[in-house]
Amino acid sequence: MKLELSCIRKTQRATGPCGPCPSDIPKLCNVDFETLWCFRDLLPKFPSLQDLTLETCINVRKICSPSLERLNLELGQGKPGHRSPRVEFDVPRIKKFAIEGPVIPWVCFTSTSSEYWESHVSIMSYNPLNTSVFLELNQLLTELSQSKIYLSLDFRSRYSFDYDFGDFEGLPKLQVENVSVVTEYLPSLSCYAVFDGLFRLCRTRFITLYLLPESYPGAKKNNDFVCKKIVQGMKGTCSFQCCFMYGLRDVEIVNVEIYDEVVRAWRPQPLGSLLDASKSPTEEQKIRFRLKWNL
């Protein structure tokens, strides 16, 4: 059974010919809410809830459920310079947590599953980039560090930015399963800074990108730069803190895989072919770097 409720602004106890709504609905396992303003009184009505989707969440501050296993949270639109509200989660049986929005969310977990669980974070933002983006990302990854993290970033601000790498001194490097980054909308300086900041904050097992043809000169320049720097990092050319891509100094092995759309599987790709301009793809291709880090 699945329940969908849209444009909820205020919840009241419904009455009618059949009497009040039951306070306990043990068989309801899937609920979708869209454009939600008032939420705190609803969740206790579903003690057996396993799947919950919240879209356009305006005023959600806390989600507490002893039965919830899968949670998909879509945050409302953020204003430039404003962070999303802090959301607290008490979900001791969570298996899959997904959150997406226009700004990096500020989350807090008071309880999570003691077993394996995944977190999927997707950020697509037009807001100007600045140093605080990386500090907010570090806070988010720290809160999710007990899970297997999948991070997707799509920054579309046309303004370039840079930062002082000293802002990241002392921050722990967090484990991430996969980082997927869209680079085609970023100015070159911003693209380089995003990857430099990411590698100073986390150790990711995979980095997923899209190889683009010559008809996308700006985006191709960004991708070629990232590919080149990842290869250089493996060769030990980023050993000083002031070096660009300093976070790659601990990379031991880099392998490349390309996604075959026909068989829907990843297949190995020679590392050198990424830097060969004569082998530029004729259409967009999905690739990923598999990184092995020194302990």
Where in the chain does DSSP place strands (E)?
Answer: 2-8, 30-36, 51-57, 62-64, 70-75, 86-90, 96-101, 106-111, 118-125, 148-155, 174-182, 202-211, 251-260, 265-269, 285-293
Per-residue tokens: 242: 């002031």
Model pLDDT, residue 11: 39
Amino acid at 243: C
pLDDT tens sequence across 35-79: 444 555 556 666 788 888 887 665 667 888 888 899 988 876 655
Nearest-5° Cα angle at 215, 209 to 220: 35
Model pLDDT, residue 78: 55
Nearest-5° Cα angle at 49, 38 to 54: 40
- Own/partner contacts of 164-170, CB < 8 Å, gap of 24 or more, are 164/131, 165/196, 165/200, 165/241, 165/242, 165/246, 167/131, 167/134, 167/135, 168/134, 168/138, 168/197, 168/200, 168/201
Phi-psi region of 275 (alpha: psi -120 to 50; beta: other; left: phi over 0): alpha
pLDDT tens sequence across 250-291: 888 889 999 998 999 999 988 777 766 556 677 888 899 999
Can you list the residues of the chain whose pLDDT is less than 50? 1-27, 35-37
